[in-house]
């Protein structure tokens, strides 16, 4: 590998020049090994935020991060693989019903997931509310479960893209989280290293999403799709609304319960709509076009895979889910139509109730969260329950209620009541 100097690489990007392949390979490798100091990588990350990267630079940067660790290989499986990644939102429990649904249609789903931080929930935190369920599996266990069950949702190992782990933590404390080249390469380095044959991205936009503006969400989606294509992974992105929270629940156990409702053939219409849209994209990417996932929800096949998947990771799918010790009901002050329910307000309330964490490693409450009893467009009457707050620690109610102030509106039926869920498709 050609040797470079950190100051040389920083200066090139500071002055608006594209980084060469050898500069990128060297700086990622040297930073991973500790030969480039954190303050030097901080300066480079800020230069990237300010001056951007072209497609070839981002592609090479992503490839270098993948090369910093191991790469999984699912080619020995008897069925094709497809994965999905969401950029995060409120009430976004889609992975839970989606993975077993796609597996029931004949495509293996290696879903390596993470934990929540702040107002966006984590898939592993939700599943850990199921008694006995474990998130950590060896590579051999993952392969065996994919072959036997068809779906696995588990923690990503430390061996995947270790460069990203270091850089992600650095971006968080240096004001460079928003750099689209770094967001895209962070997500895609891990997803490509997972070894899936095809990938569907759910890029959220709106008040409860990381991307607040549609133009930026489309830019991120397009960048990630290009990275997937450059790496030989069939990649499609759906841009979806996150101004209104998904479904009727935000938390951990409450979202698991809602996911099971979907797998049983019920559940909120928006959760079912998005689950089916993503399932169809995943199946198409894997070359399976003769199965309608809606049929697998209706006939119980997806539920069968869910139960098998939970049991395979030592969980008990029949065990009662945890219930918070305390609850508080927010009632509608007037009658009318619920015209707005803000995703960020709901997400912050769930976080403050104990469903999320303020720093990595902090414990979460399995039963904490928010349940809402109406969605935008629904008629409400004065005095009816609008939201129910759940927590084990009632002193949290005050701050949770404060975060909900101004987070919903009741008006006339003709007033605006939410955006379409599916906004765009980028391939």
Q: Where in the sequence numbering do the catalytic residues fall?
A: 85, 164, 171, 186, 190
Which residue, among 347, 353, 349, has the nearest Cα to 393 in the 3D structure?
353
The interaxial angle of helices 301-312 and 139-148, nearest 10 deg, is: 150
408: enclosing H helix or E strand: strand 408-411
Contact indicator for 341, 378 with CB cutoff of 8 Å: no
**Cα–Cα distance, 97 to 103 (Å, whole number):** 10
**Residues in the chain, how many?**
427
HSE toward the beta carbon, residue 95, CA cutoff 13 A: 31
The SS3 assignment for 375 reads coil
What are the CA-CA distances from residue 37 to residues 2, 32, 60, 280, 296 (Å)? 19, 10, 21, 45, 52
Which residue, among 37, 7, 5, 34, has the nearest Cα to 22 in the 3D structure?
5
Beta-bridge mates of residue 336? 380
**Cα–Cα distance, 274 to 93 (Å, whole number):** 10
CB atoms within 10 A of CB 13: 24
């Amino acid at each position: 590998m050609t040797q470079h100097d950190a100051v040389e690489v920083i200066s090139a990007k500071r002055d608006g020049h594209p980084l060469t392949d050898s500069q990128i390979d060297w700086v990622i490798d040297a930073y991973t090994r500790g030969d480039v100091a954190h303050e030097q990588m901080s300066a480079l990350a800020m230069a990237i935020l300010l001056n951007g990267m072209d497609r070839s630079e981002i592609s090479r940067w992503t490839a270098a991060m993948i090369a910093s660790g191991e790469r999984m290989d699912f080619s020995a499986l008897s069925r094709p693989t497809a994965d999905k990644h969401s950029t995060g939102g409120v009430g976004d429990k889609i992975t839970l019903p989606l993975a077993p649904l796609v597996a029931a249609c004949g495509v293996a789903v290696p879903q390596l997931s993470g934990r929540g931080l702040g107002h966006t929930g984590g898939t592993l935190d939700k599943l850990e509310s199921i008694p006995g369920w474990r998130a950590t599996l060896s590579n051999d266990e993952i392969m065996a479960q994919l072959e036997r069950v068809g779906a696995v949702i588990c923690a990503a190992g430390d061996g995947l893209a270790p460069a990203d782990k270091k850089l992600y933590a650095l971006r968080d404390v240096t004001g460079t989280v928003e750099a689209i080249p770094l967001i895209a390469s962070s997500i895609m380095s891990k997803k490509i290293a997972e070894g899936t044959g095809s990938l569907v991205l759910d890029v959220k936009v709106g008040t409860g999403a990381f991307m607040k503006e549609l133009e930026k969400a489309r830019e991120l989606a397009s960048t990630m799709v290009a990275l997937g294509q450059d790496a030989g992974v069939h990649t499609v992105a759906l841009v979806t609304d996150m101004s209104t929270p998904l479904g009727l629940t935000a938390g951990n156990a409450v979202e698991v319960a809602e996911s099971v409702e979907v797998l049983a053939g019920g559940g909120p219409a928006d959760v079912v709509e998005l689950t089916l849209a993503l399932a169809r994209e995943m199946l198409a990417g894997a070359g399976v076009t003769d199965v309608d996932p809606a049929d697998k929800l209706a006939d119980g096949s997806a539920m069968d895979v869910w139960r098998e998947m939970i049991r395979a990771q030592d969980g008990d799918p029949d065990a009662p889910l945890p219930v918070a010790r305390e609850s508080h009901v927010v009632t509608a002050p007037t009658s009318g139509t619920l015209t707005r329910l803000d995703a960020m307000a709901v997400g912050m309330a769930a976080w403050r109730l104990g469903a999320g964490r303020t720093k990595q490693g902090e414990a979460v409450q399995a039963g904490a969260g928010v349940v809402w009893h109406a969605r935008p467009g629904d008629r409400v009457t004065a005095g009816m329950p609008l939201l129910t707050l759940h927590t084990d620690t009632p002193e949290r109610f005050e701050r949770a209620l404060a975060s909900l102030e101004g987070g919903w509106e009741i008006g006339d039926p003709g007033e605006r009541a939410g955006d379409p869920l599916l906004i765009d498709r980028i391939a």
